[in-house]
Amino acid sequence: MTNAEEITQLENTCLKLLQGFISWIEANDEREIALMLDSAYDFKYQILKLEGSFLQKKYFTNAQELTNDQIILLIKQWKDTFSQLINSQADRISKDSFKIWFLTIAAYGIPSLTQQGDHLWSKLILGMGFCEKFSLKDIPFPYNKITKN
């Protein structure tokens, strides 16, 4: 179980990361956004191919079935993974593609971040026309209602 102080800390951390990432996406062109989305697609399907039932898989297949506690647990796990990834030798596109999923689940699971999640996906969708793999059907719930129109 997570206490209110931990939730507030997660919320503040994720808000700052969302704001910074949205600014980064706004500074990139549509082709660069497409590279991030295609890399995010690859990450998603690596998770889906893993043996066993994991929260990450459930998030990608049916996020609506996750409980609030499961969502917060997943956000905390991915925050830790993100912290390790940032300090790794992974390339920027890989880091950004993971950040897409991490910040999307944060915006979904922490109600005060929902608007930032909408804003993030309204910017990410601009790169869809240049994607080789990622498509509208890969946009996770609840942001899968966003269209390019």
- The CA distance from 2 to 8, in Å, is 10
Global confidence as pTM: 0.88
Is the preceding peptide bond at 142 cis, omega within 30 degrees of 0? yes
Residue with tokens 């997570």: 2
What was the pLDDT predicted at 53?
66
Domain ranges for the chain, please list them: 4-10+32-145
User: CA triplet 106, 149, 34: central angle to 5 degrees?
Assistant: 55
What was the pLDDT predicted at 52?
75
Q: Reply yes or no on whether the pLDDT at 148 is more than 60.
A: no
- The 10s digit of each residue's pLDDT in 21-33 is 999 999 999 999 9
Question: Could you tell me which of 24, 52, 40 has the C-alpha nearest to residue 123?
Answer: 24
Q: Are 75 and 109 in contact (CB under 8 A)?
A: yes
Residue with tokens 């971040």: 113
Q: Report the sign of the C-alpha dihedral through residues 20, 109, 58, 135, in that order.
A: negative
Helix axes 114-124, 4-27, angle to 10 degrees: 20
Phi-psi region of 52 (alpha: psi -120 to 50; beta: other; left: phi over 0): left
- The 10s digit of each residue's pLDDT in 81-125 is 888 888 888 888 888 999 999 999 999 999 999 999 999 999 999
